Chain A
Amino acid sequence: QKEVEQNSGPLSVPEGAIASLNCTYSDRVSQSFFWYRQYSGKSPELIMSIYSNGDKEDGRFTAQLNKASQYVSLLIRDSQPSDSATYLCAVSAGGTSYGKLTFGQGTILTVHP
């Protein structure tokens, strides 16, 4: 059973702070890792993808991947109220599972002014 676990929320941070979201996965053959943002009543929106160990930065977002520890995280710097949403970690094994995503349960983030 492939599992993706996210840190329990909800997570509340003040505006301007760093929000840290964590995710662990059980399937060692996982190759592709994604963070989606989902606003209430909307579909998930891809914000970051990462495929190799290390950090990947895109604007205020940094994804970190450690395949040995089966751990992926998302840091949001200078958090804004507009970042308040549910963040979903998703993992794909590739190969015959190409395109199939296993999602974590999501972490609700609230950024308060």
Chain B
Amino acid sequence: SAVISQKPSRDICQRGTSLTIQCQVDSQVTMMFWYRQQPGQSLTLIATANQGSEATYESGFVIDKFPISRPNLTFSTLTVSNMSPEDSSIYLCSVVGGQDTQYFGPGTRLTVL
């Protein structure tokens, strides 16, 4: 299984600001995924980050709000822009291992005041 790290592990931000979350994997992977887990809820896929191409976003998520970068095969960033308290969530990156199994990073716990 892949070893995934995320930075920061948690943050408290003011509304209207932006936060960039970093995800680092210990091996090269084609696709990386970003999920959101709102308080008391399950996980929802935000977007798929492919190296060398634009990220693909799921319904309800847009690039202006959640811009994603994927500069190489081991790294990706997710920015949460113009934050509001509704953006308070845990943000998780994940990668696919063998046989379509997916492994998650430790998550970034974001609180927006």
Contacts and interface: CB of A to CB of B under 8 A. Distances in A.
Interface of A: 31-32, 34, 42-46, 49, 51, 88, 90, 92, 94, 98-106
A46 B43 CA distance: 14
19 contacts: A31-B100, A32-B100, A43-B90, A43-B104, A43-B106, A44-B92, A46-B101, A49-B99, A51-B99, A51-B100, A88-B42, A92-B100, A98-B31, A98-B96, A99-B96, A100-B48, A101-B33, A101-B45, A102-B45
A105 B102 CA distance: 18
Contacts of B90: 43
A101 B41 contact: no
Contacts of A49: 99-101
Contacts of B44: 103
A81 to B, nearest CB: 23
Contact of A43 (B41, B45, B48, B105): B105
Given A34-B102, A100-B48, A43 B107 contact: yes
Contacts of B58: 100
Interface in B31-82: 31, 33, 41-45, 48, 58
Given A88-B43, A99-B102, 12 more contacts: A31-B100, A44-B92, A44-B104, A45-B104, A46-B101, A46-B102, A49-B100, A98-B100, A99-B96, A101-B33, A105-B42, A106-B42
A99 B48 contact: yes
B101 to A, nearest CB: 5
A99 B33 contact: yes
Nearest to A86: B42
Nearest to B98: A49
A103 B42 contact: yes
Nearest to B109: A41
Contacts of B1: 46
Contact of B31 (A34, A42, A90, A99): A99
Most chain B beta-carbon contacts within 10 A, residue among A92, A101, A102: A101
Contact of A44 (B33, B43, B45, B48): B43
Contact of B92 (A34, A43, A98, A99): A43
